[in-house]
Amino acid sequence: MAFCLAIVLCLMGINDYVVSRAEDSQRKNVALAENGTSIFIDKTHAWGQENGRDIKKMIDGNRNTFGQGNTGNDVNSQINLTLEFPCTYTVDSIVLYGIGPQGFPEEFTVSAYTQERWKQVASVKECTYQETGNTVNLDAPVDCVGIRITITKNGVDGEWGGQLYLSEFEVYGVESDVVIPRENAAAAANGATISYDRGTVDISKMIDGETAGDVSNLGIIGVEDEATETYITVDFEGSYHIDTVRLYGDNRKYCFPKDFTIEAFSGGEWKTVCTVTGSELVGDCNDYPFDGIDCTAIRLHITKNGMENSEGWQGYAIYLSELEAWGTAIAGNVALASKGTKASTSDPNDWAEKKHVSIRRWYH
Ligand SMILES: [Ca+2]
Ligand SMILES: [Ca+2]
């Protein structure tokens, strides 16, 4: 019967209508953790985490649980909240649920990770909390593997000042067949290698793909004191356009780097792409998004170290279970590398080989 109806509608010249209704029937909230979506934030809140306000509660499908971001009580603190999907979806809208007017984002942009990388798809100003959820329709439906909101004005919570509280972050769309490449260039599985400037201890656990923060899974670098300076370098196989570094730490929260810059080797020199001060690990990992850059390596330049204060040992060190660098391979240059350009470099510190395969192309 439905088939006959479709035939009739096609004959009537309204087959587009039939197609769009079919898609609508598969439209769903694609942001649920239970379906494989992950959530990351660049301003974590230790107090919120300890009091059950994990950001994962923003995608747990329960509007009675909420997560908290760290505004530093500053209304204008910029916060990036990123969702990554397990596959490509054609997304048309997002819906934000708060816990009341307090701590509800007032001003933000929405970006999607598309075939053109991160791209702004909506801008919202003077957003007022709605109990039934605040829907933001994208400028147009977009094929993407991630959605990010960049909040530039946070809601106020009485005496606390600016705060971010969200009970659900929903994204609506349908599954798409479009392929959007995005990978972790810093994975050993992708040919990356890792080294540091102060010694030769094996820290390959930082790029082995295992993110669990158990002691047995940590890459460990010993340091003398809080101010011991260290460079940790991940050398990619080929060139990538990188826009995010993600650091997984010790699940006891010990020895996470406090102050550091993230630097990218691009156009024959190291360029600082992100400056971090006073960081603390909350949850499993911290996310550091920045304007994308074409590069052949990423390094952490750590200038202030975290400490361990357990019954077994007190002192400073660097504990990381994984260092990831997310973006897309630059096809031509990877092909060049696979033909032996990189393999012919005997000295790991000889960057000359890589200079000609690095093209500077900032993401807009
Ligand atoms: Ca929730
Ligand atoms: Ca690891």
Domain boundary among 156, 175, 194: 175
Length of the chain: 364
* Host domain of residue 52: 27-175
Report d(CA 313, CA 234) in Å as an integer: 29
Q: Are 164 and 223 in a shared domain?
A: no
Distant-in-sequence contacts of 198-206, Cβ < 8 A, 24+ apart: 198/223, 198/228, 198/230, 198/231, 203/232, 203/320, 205/321, 206/232, 206/320, 206/321, 206/322, 206/323
- Residue 9 belongs to a domain: no
Tokens standing for residue 210: 């295992």
| pLDDT score recorded for residue 44 | 72
Q: Which ligand lies nearest to the CA atom of residue 52 in the structure?
A: 1
Q: Are 71 and 201 in a shared domain?
A: no
Confidence of residue 48 (pLDDT cuts 50, 70, 90): confident
pLDDT in tens, 75-114: 999 999 999 999 999 999 999 999 999 999 999 999 999 9
- Scored b (16 or more CB within 10 A) or e, 38-74 reads bbbbbbbbeebbeeebbbebbbbeeeebbbbbbbeee
Q: Are 247 and 337 in a shared domain?
A: yes
Confidence of residue 331 (pLDDT cuts 50, 70, 90): confident
Residue 341 has pLDDT above 90, yes or no: no
Q: Are 279 and 351 in a shared domain?
A: yes
Domain boundary among 146, 175, 204: 175
CA proximity to 142, closest of 169, 123, 170, 121: 121
Report d(CA 214, CA 358) in Å as an integer: 36
| pTM for the model | 0.83
Q: Are 213 and 330 in a shared domain?
A: yes
Q: Are 99 and 244 in a shared domain?
A: no
Confidence of residue 197 (pLDDT cuts 50, 70, 90): very high
How does strand 285-304 pair with strand 259-266?
antiparallel
pLDDT in tens, 221-275: 999 999 999 999 999 999 999 999 999 999 999 999 999 999 999 999 999 999 9
Name the more confident of 342 and 118: 118
Distance 166 CA to ligand 1 centre (A): 8
Distance 136 CA to ligand 1 centre (A): 18
User: What DSSP string describes 78-138?
Assistant: -EEEEEEEEEEEEEEEEEEE-SSSTT---EEEEEEEETTEEEEEEEE-S----TT-EEEEE
| pLDDT score recorded for residue 282 | 80
Domain boundary among 153, 175, 197: 175
Mean pLDDT in residue range 327-340: 63
Q: Which ligand lies nearest to the CA atom of residue 29 in the structure?
A: 1
CA proximity to 168, closest of 93, 96, 85: 96
CA distances from 311 to 250, 282, 315 (A): 16, 22, 11
Residue 62 belongs to a domain with what CATH number? 2.60.120.260
Q: Are 346 and 302 in a shared domain?
A: yes
Distance 268 CA to ligand 2 centre (A): 29
List the shell of residues around ion ligand 2, using CB closer than 5 Å: 205, 208, 210, 321-322
Confidence of residue 333 (pLDDT cuts 50, 70, 90): low
Confidence of residue 332 (pLDDT cuts 50, 70, 90): low
Distance 257 CA to ligand 1 centre (A): 30
pLDDT in tens, 299-330: 999 999 999 999 989 999 999 999 999 999 99
**What residues contact residue 313 under an 8 Å CB cut-off, 6+ apart?**
none
pLDDT in tens, 151-180: 999 999 998 899 999 999 999 999 999 999
